[in-house]
Amino acid sequence: MAKDKKFTPDWFEGQLPEHSLRALFKWHDPDAFKHPNRGFYTLIRDTFGMADADFTKPDLCLDQAPDQLPIQLDQQHIQRFIDLCGEENVFTDAYQRIRASYGAGMIDALRLREGIIENITDLVLAPRDTDDIEHIIAYCDQHRIPVTVFGGGSTVTRGYEAPLGGICLDMSVHMVRVLDFDEVNQTITVQPGIYGPALEDALNHAPERFGAADRYTCGHFPQSFEHSSVGGWVVTRGAGQNSTYYGKIEDLVISQEYVTPIGVFRTQDHPRAATGPDFDQIMIGSEGCFGVLTAVTLRVFKHRPSNTRRFSYLFRSWDEAVHAYREIMQADFGFPSVFRLSDPEETDTAMRIYHIHDTIADKLLRALGYQPMQRCLLLGTVDGDRDFTRLVTRKIHRVCTGKSGLPLTPFGVTQRWEHTRFTDPYMREDLNDFSIVIDTLECAVTWEQLPKVHPHVRAFVKQRPRTICMTHISHAYPQGANLYFIFIIPYTGINDYLTLQYGILDAIQSSGAAMSHHHGIGKQTAPWLEDQIGKNWMDLIRLLKQHFDPHNIMNPGGTLGLDLDQEQSAKRWGFTK
Amino acid sequence: MAKDKKFTPDWFEGQLPEHSLRALFKWHDPDAFKHPNRGFYTLIRDTFGMADADFTKPDLCLDQAPDQLPIQLDQQHIQRFIDLCGEENVFTDAYQRIRASYGAGMIDALRLREGIIENITDLVLAPRDTDDIEHIIAYCDQHRIPVTVFGGGSTVTRGYEAPLGGICLDMSVHMVRVLDFDEVNQTITVQPGIYGPALEDALNHAPERFGAADRYTCGHFPQSFEHSSVGGWVVTRGAGQNSTYYGKIEDLVISQEYVTPIGVFRTQDHPRAATGPDFDQIMIGSEGCFGVLTAVTLRVFKHRPSNTRRFSYLFRSWDEAVHAYREIMQADFGFPSVFRLSDPEETDTAMRIYHIHDTIADKLLRALGYQPMQRCLLLGTVDGDRDFTRLVTRKIHRVCTGKSGLPLTPFGVTQRWEHTRFTDPYMREDLNDFSIVIDTLECAVTWEQLPKVHPHVRAFVKQRPRTICMTHISHAYPQGANLYFIFIIPYTGINDYLTLQYGILDAIQSSGAAMSHHHGIGKQTAPWLEDQIGKNWMDLIRLLKQHFDPHNIMNPGGTLGLDLDQEQSAKRWGFTK
Cα distance between residue A278 and residue A273, in whole Å:
8
Of B237, B477, B540, the CB nearest to A274: B237
Condensed to tens digits (0 to 9), the pLDDT of residues A409-434 reads 999 999 999 998 889 999 999 999 99
Report the Cα A559 to chain-centroid distance in Å: 16
Query: What is the torsional sign of CA A390, A393, A399, A400?
Result: negative
Q: Return the bridge partners of B480, or none.
A: B446, B477
Of A250, A275, A281, the CB nearest to B521: A275
Residue of A nearest to B185 (CA): A479
Residues in Cβ contact with B137 at an 8 Å cutoff, skipping those fewer than 6 apart: B147, B259, B260, B261, B291, B292, B553
CA atoms within 13 A on the CB side of B261: 24
Residues in B touching A479 (Cβ below 8 Å): 185-187, 254, 269, 271, 299
The per-residue pLDDT for B4 is 53
Å between B559 CA and nearest CA of chain A: 10
Å between B444 CA and nearest CA of chain A: 6
Record: contact B271-A541, CB cut-off 8 A: no
Å between B455 CA and nearest CA of chain A: 18
Å between B402 CA and nearest CA of chain A: 17
> Which of A332, A383, A395, A483 should one mutate to test binding to chain B, selecting the residue with the greatest count of B CBs within 10 A?
A332
Å between B546 CA and nearest CA of chain A: 11
The per-residue pLDDT for B570 is 86
At B27, is the secondary structure helix, strand, or coil?
coil
Sheet of B436-446, strand order: B406-407, B309-315, B376-382, B339-342, B468-477, B480-490, B436-446
Of B273, B278, B285, the CB nearest to A274: B285
Å between B345 CA and nearest CA of chain A: 25
> Which of A184, A245, A267, A275 should one mutate to test binding to chain B, selecting the residue with the greatest count of B CBs within 10 A?
A275
Residues in A touching B283 (Cβ below 8 Å): 277
Backbone angles phi, psi at A382, to 5 degrees: -125, 125
The per-residue pLDDT for A1 is 42
Residues in B touching A281 (Cβ below 8 Å): 277-278, 281-282
Say if CB B485 and CB B470 are below 8 A apart.
yes
Q: B180-214 as b/e, with b when 16 or more CB fall inside 10 Å?
A: ebbbbbbbbbbbbbbbbebbbebbbebeeebebee
Q: In three state form, how does the secondary structure of A68-129 look?
A: CCCCCCCHHHHHHHHHHHCHHHEECCHHHHHHCCCCCCHHHHHHHHCCCCCCCCCEEECCCC
Record: contact A448-B182, CB cut-off 8 A: yes
DSSP state of B64: B
Distances (CA, A) of B496 to A35, B431, B492, B572, B573: 77, 17, 6, 11, 12
Record: contact A279-B395, CB cut-off 8 A: no
Å between A21 CA and nearest CA of chain B: 31
Residues in A touching B270 (Cβ below 8 Å): 444-446, 480, 513-514, 517
Cα distance between residue A326 and residue B486, in whole Å:
43
Q: Return the bridge partners of A28, or none.
A: none
Cα distance between residue A10 and residue A148, in whole Å:
38
The per-residue pLDDT for A3 is 52
Distances (CA, A) of B461 to B40, B466, B471: 20, 10, 12
Residues of chain B with pLDDT under 50: 1-2
Backbone angles phi, psi at A313, to 5 degrees: -145, 150
Cα distance between residue A496 and residue A574, in whole Å:
9
Å between A265 CA and nearest CA of chain B: 7
At A210, is the secondary structure helix, strand, or coil?
helix
The neighbour count for residue A11, using CB atoms within 10 Å, is 18
Å between A232 CA and nearest CA of chain B: 12
Cα distance between residue A279 and residue B9, in whole Å:
50
ipTM of the complex: 0.97
Record: contact B302-A332, CB cut-off 8 A: yes
Cα distance between residue A458 and residue A470, in whole Å:
9
Say if CB B495 and CB B516 are below 8 A apart.
no
DSSP state of B14: S
Record: contact A279-B537, CB cut-off 8 A: yes
Record: contact A277-B283, CB cut-off 8 A: yes
Of B186, B281, B514, the CB nearest to A478: B186
CA atoms within 13 A on the CB side of B101: 30
Cα distance between residue B498 and residue B437, in whole Å:
11
Residue of B nearest to A546 (CA): B543
Chains A, B: CB pairs < 8 Å: 273
Record: contact A272-B395, CB cut-off 8 A: no
The per-residue pLDDT for B2 is 45
Cα distance between residue B409 and residue B310, in whole Å:
7
Of B275, B332, B534, the CB nearest to A532: B275
Of A274, A282, A287, the CB nearest to B236: A274
The H or E element spanning position B349 is helix B344-353
The neighbour count for residue A184, using CB atoms within 10 Å, is 16
The per-residue pLDDT for B572 is 76
Cα distance between residue B60 and residue B65, in whole Å:
13
Backbone angles phi, psi at B63, to 5 degrees: -60, 160
Of A274, A448, A479, the CB nearest to B299: A479
Record: contact B274-A445, CB cut-off 8 A: no
Residues in A touching B273 (Cβ below 8 Å): 237, 444, 514-517
Condensed to tens digits (0 to 9), the pLDDT of residues B363-414 reads 999 999 999 999 999 999 999 999 999 999 999 999 999 999 999 999 999 9
Kind of pairing between the strands at B468-477 and B339-342 = antiparallel
Å between A389 CA and nearest CA of chain B: 8
Say if CB A74 and CB A160 are below 8 A apart.
no
- Position B485: which residue type? F
Residues of chain A with pLDDT under 50: 1-2
pTM of structure: 0.97
Residues in A touching B337 (Cβ below 8 Å): none
Cα distance between residue A305 and residue A195, in whole Å:
20
Record: contact B332-A388, CB cut-off 8 A: yes
- Residue B305's nearest CA partner among B398, B219, B188 is B219
Residues in B touching A387 (Cβ below 8 Å): 333, 391, 394-395
Record: contact A384-B332, CB cut-off 8 A: yes
Q: Return the bridge partners of B437, or none.
A: B489
Residues in A touching B330 (Cβ below 8 Å): 186, 302
Cα torsion through B359, B361, B364, B368, rounded to 10: -130
The per-residue pLDDT for A481 is 98
The H or E element spanning position B282 is helix B280-283
Residues in B touching A441 (Cβ below 8 Å): none
Cα distance between residue A299 and residue A255, in whole Å:
10
Of A236, A446, A547, the CB nearest to B543: A547
Sheet of B90-91, strand order: B90-91, B123-125, B167-170, B147-150
Å between A134 CA and nearest CA of chain B: 15
Sheet of A90-91, strand order: A90-91, A123-125, A167-170, A147-150
CA atoms within 13 A on the CB side of A42: 16
Of B263, B384, B529, the CB nearest to A536: B263
Say if CB A297 and CB A189 are below 8 A apart.
yes
> Which of B218, B264, B275 should one mutate to test binding to chain A, selecting the residue with the greatest count of A CBs within 10 A?
B275
The per-residue pLDDT for B3 is 52
DSSP A344-411: HHHHHHHHHHTT-TTSHHHHHHHHTT--TTT-EEEEEEE-SSHHHHHHHHHHHHHHHHHTTPEE-GGG
Cα distance between residue B165 and residue A166, in whole Å:
52
